[in-house]
Chain A
Amino acid sequence: MAAAEQGVDAARKEKEEEEEQVVNPWEVSAGKGGIDYDKLVDQFGCQRIDDALIDRIARLTGRPPHCFLRRGLFFAHRDLNELLDLYEKGEKFYLYTGRGPSSEALHLGHLIPFMFTKYLQEAFKVPLVIQLTDDEKFLWKNLTIQESKRLARENAKDIIACGFDIERTFIFSDFSFVGGAFYENMMQVARCVTMNKAIGIFGFNLEDHIGKVSFPPVQAVPSFPSSFPHLFAGKDQLRCLIPCAIDQDPYFRMTRDVAPRIGYQKPSLIESRFFPALQGENTKMSASDANSAIYVTDSAKEIKTKVNKYAFSGGQDSIELHRKLGANLDVDVPIKYLNFFLEDDDDLAHIKKEYKEGRMLTGEVKQRLMAVLSEIVARHQRARAQVTEEMVDAFMAVRPLPNMFG
């Protein structure tokens, strides 16, 4: 297409179409109007979680489904029904989740997969392995190995503060744990993925260093129980469920493709949306912009300031206008946050109704949000204060977990 043949309008249209959303483990950028999740689910080939599935989970676990499920934060899955079929027949599974420890500053968005995983651990009474990919951060960011390892340990403390059960949880960092059976599995996976495929899945190019290209197997193999001989010896066919944000899907597409070729079961996945930044869906929550998110180290005062000043409101500009037209719930960030963090369904429904119809003002909604967030953050801080170095050592010790299914 020669430039001379294009009119100005055509060129502009082409540019708009080029702003496709990009979702992969290292980049998340939305086109206009935020992330199109329907398109993403179609593109990735995973399935949506429907009400029937949520009910099924409630029945099998004998407790109400977690808020994040009910409100559609965890909204997609792969093979979750198959996993539940097996669970119903008495066959157990284990959970696998992880974190790339790139910074010490954790915000609520980071905690969400862990809060949900904790619920899964309690509800299904199954063990959990948590991978801290300190090697990944070393490879992708400008960090020293020492710093990556240090960040991994610091992040482990916040993870532990989410309330995981030490009798059922094994936390490990790649720099400390890779080797033995884990490394053998990494090699098996690596041998099954061509350079072409890796480039296709992860967007690598010939200028990327080989560390990046050889990283994916590290994140793949915790899906296989034989990677953890101290935990799952003799249980080679034990299933795995991976709660993660949907941008991690490529790793596990690759894993699921390779698994049957090396005689292992495919892991199942349960995936979440992205958590909106305070300033709205089109902004990215960034560790470098302190005002884009609520951090686990924020005081009640800081939370108040951030919510009041930066949380994007869907309310109208004046009180009269607001009482007349009501609020736009689609863009209102406090409502989105309440959607995820306010447990009581009736309470939330009431607030949404009153706000939409203009009877409740933005200020009131924000006040409610501040209260809810402060409670969560305070609880986290209290638990975090009690996490000692010895406790981290214990969680990370390569030890058997005899009560892991109890």
Chain B
Amino acid sequence: MGYTKDQLLARLQELKIYFTCYDHPVVLTVEEQAKHVGHLGGALSKNLLLKDKKHRLYVISALAGTKVDMKILSQRLGLGKGGLRMAPEENLLEVLQVPLGCVTPFALINESASAVSLLLDQGFKSKQICYFHPLTNDVTIALSSSNLDKFLISFGKQPAYVDLEAAPAVGKDNPPDLAHLVPSGVPNSSEQPVENASHTNVPHHQNNVPKETEVKAIMTISKVQSKGAETSSKVDKPTTNTSVDKFVNDVFDIISPLLSEELKKLDIKKEELSSILDGLRGRADPDLKSIAMTLKNASYTNGFHAGFKTMLHRGLNG
């Protein structure tokens, strides 16, 4: 479930982050927002949700006046010339869990957005007050960039400020300077703050990305499937593995070597050994899968009912 605006504001108050709040009718563009709060002296932000070819998501939060060139940004991230495009509406609703026209750095507090990369305009640092939407677009909150940082750090997101208008050359001798901001597919957990994303980390992260794709390519059976697998793992947070197939394979991985050992003692030839094990596996597979699925469904059922009773008796707070 995504955070509501009220939950967000409550959290800001908990963290003793000072902000001011302005209500206004729903606005879908910066120009409209300016009509309501533009006269108050703070800096309006424009927020984009972008997606690369591997379905990784980026929130670009910039001063309204900053020119954001998607081609240059794409190159600086190491995604090639046309690697970035506007993300489709579903990503807003599913990943950021905000309505249309409401992309905001605050959306990164949602678990579903843990793999989204946030790029903040350096220009925010020099402004006393910046305006953002707090998960709904009928409200604007005003706070300083350092307070925004405090908020991001509170759930393990390291703020990354970037000169969005810079256009450094990217080539053989100049590696993409923002490559370290490409999501690596492993989300930040609140217990482990991400290392400070400085330029010295560029080679380190660049090595990580290809290795992971290598491993994924080996694990999947066709190129086509790897695209599918990567999509789901990079955007979704990895959950406790509940795959029955994997469980049954793990069981065989435990039993096979033990059985092999014992069979070897009986002087069974190596070639016969593997065919015996395969035969066993084939015959046990359907029954093992069936009981594993039963156990999984039964466990889920118990958890589901426990959750339901908790909600019934104690409400949302549990």
Q: When A90-B227, A234-B89, A234-B90 are in contact, do A394 and B220 touch as well, CB less than 8 Å?
A: no
Determine whether B261 belongs to the interface, using a CB cutoff of 8 Å to chain A.
no
CA distance A167 to B286 in the complex (A): 20
Measured between C-beta atoms, what is the minimum distance from B90 to chain A in Å? 6
Residue in A62, A399, A405, A406 whose CB lies within 8 Å of B304: A399
* Known pairs A90-B231, A390-B305; A166 contacts B294 (CB<8 A): no
> Which residue of A is nearest B227, CB measured?
A90
Question: Contact at B224–A379, with CB atoms within 8 Å?
Answer: no
Asked if A233 CB lies within 8 Å of chain B CBs, one says yes
Q: Is the Cβ of A62 less than 8 Å from the Cβ of B221?
A: yes
Residues of A with C-beta under 8 A to B296:
165-167
Q: How many whole Å from B282's CB to the nearest CB in chain A?
A: 8
- On chain B, the residues within 8 Å of A88 by CB distance are 224
Q: Mark out the residues of chain A between 323 and 369 whose CB falls within 8 Å of any chain B CB in the assembled complex.
A: none
A163 touches B290 (CB 8 A): yes
A-B contact count (CB 8 A): 72
Chain B residue, CB-CB nearest to A167:
B242
Whether A122 sits at the interface, judged by CB under 8 Å, is yes
- The answer to whether B263 has its CB under 8 Å from any CB of chain A is no
Does residue A309 face the partner (Cβ distance < 8 Å to B)?
no
Report yes or no: B232 in contact with A406, Cβ–Cβ below 8 A: yes
Q: Which residues of A have CB within 8 Å of B255?
A: none
Q: Is the CB of B232 within 8 A of A167?
A: no
> Do A394 and B90 have beta carbons less than 8 Å apart?
no
Residues of chain A in range 69-121 having any CB-CB distance to chain B below 8 Å: 88, 90
B residues less than 8 Å from A90 (CB atoms) = 227-228, 231
Is there an interface contact between B294 and A386, defined as CB atoms closer than 8 Å? yes
In whole angstroms, how far apart are the Cα atoms of A393 and B225 in the complex? Answer: 34
For B231, B297, B301, B304, which residue has the most chain A Cβ atoms within 10 angstroms? B297
Is B287 part of the binding interface, using a Cβ–Cβ cutoff of 8 Å? Answer: yes
As a 0/1 sequence over residues 89 to 125 of chain B, the CB contacts with chain A under 8 angstroms (1 = contact) are 1100110000000000000000000000000000000
Say yes or no: B298 contacts A62, CB within 8 Å. Answer: no
B239 interface residue (CB < 8 Å to A): yes
Known interface pairs A90-B227, A163-B293, A379-B290; A403-B242 also in contact (CB < 8 Å) = yes
A143 within 8 A of partner (CB): no
Contacts of B294 in A (CB 8 A): 163, 383, 386
Residue numbers in A under 8 Å from B304 (CB-CB): 394, 397, 399
In the assembled complex, A290 has its CB within 8 A of some CB on chain B: no
Q: A62-B222, A90-B228, A403-B242 are in contact. Are A234 and B94 (CB under 8 A)?
A: yes
Whether, in the assembled complex, A32 has its beta carbon less than 8 Å from a beta carbon of chain B, the answer is no
User: Are B300 and A394 in touch, CB under 8 angstroms?
Assistant: yes
The distance in angstroms between the C-alpha atoms of A386 and B236, with both chains bound, is 32
Q: How far is the CA of A313 from the CA of B35 in the complex (A)?
A: 85
**B114 CB to nearest chain A CB (Å):** 14
Interface flag for B244 (CB, 8 Å)? yes
A235 within 8 A of B: yes
Residues of B within 8 A of A386 (CB): 294, 298
CB-defined contacts of B293 to chain A, threshold 8 Å: 163-165, 383
Size of the chain B interface, CB-CB below 8 angstroms: 33
CB-defined interface of A372-406 with B at 8 Å, one 1/0 digit per residue? Answer: 00000001001100101011011101010001011
Tell me the residues in window 6-57 of chain A with beta carbons closer than 8 Å to chain B beta carbons. Answer: none
The chain B residue sitting closest to A87, CB to CB, is B228
Q: How far apart sit A386 and B293, CA to CA, in the bound complex (Å)?
A: 11
Most buried by B among A88, A379, A394: A394
Q: Scoring B residues 208 to 236 as 1 if CB is less than 8 Å from chain A, else 0, what string do you get? A: 00000000000011101101100110001
A160 at the binding interface (Cβ < 8 Å) = yes
Q: Is A59 an interface residue (CB 8 A)?
A: yes
Q: Which residues of B contact A399 (CB under 8 A)?
A: 304
B159: shortest Cβ distance to chain A, in Å?
Answer: 28
Are A394 and B301 touching (Cβ within 8 A)?
A: yes
Residues of B within 8 A of A167 (CB): 242, 296, 300
Chain A, range 204-249, C-beta contacts under 8 Å to B: 233-235
Tell me whether A382 and B224 are in contact (CB under 8 A). Answer: no
B289 and A234: CB pair below 8 A?
Answer: no
B23 to chain A: which residues have CB within 8 Å? none
A122 CA to B246 CA in the complex, in Å? Answer: 12
Q: Chain B residues near A395: list those with CB within 8 A.
A: 297
B6 sits at the interface (CB 8 A): no
For the complex formed, measure the closest distance between the CB of B112 and the CB atoms of chain A, giving whole angstroms. 9
Bound state CA distance, A166 and B286, in angstroms? 18
How far is the CB of B305 from the nearest CB of chain A, in Å? 6
**Interface, chain A (partner B; CB < 8 A):** 59-60, 62, 88, 90, 122, 160, 163-167, 233-235, 379, 382-383, 386, 388, 390-391, 393-395, 397, 399, 403, 405-406
Not counting A62-B220, A383-B290, A394-B297, a sample of 13 additional A-B residue pairs whose C-beta atoms are within 8 angstroms of each other reads: A60-B222, A62-B221, A90-B227, A163-B290, A163-B294, A165-B244, A166-B296, A383-B293, A386-B298, A391-B298, A394-B301, A403-B242, A405-B232
Question: Please, could you name 27 A-B residue pairs with CB atoms under 8 Å apart, sorted by A?
Answer: A60-B225, A62-B221, A62-B222, A62-B225, A90-B227, A122-B245, A163-B289, A165-B244, A165-B293, A165-B297, A167-B296, A233-B93, A234-B89, A234-B94, A379-B286, A379-B287, A383-B290, A383-B291, A383-B294, A388-B301, A390-B302, A393-B305, A394-B297, A394-B305, A403-B242, A405-B232, A406-B232
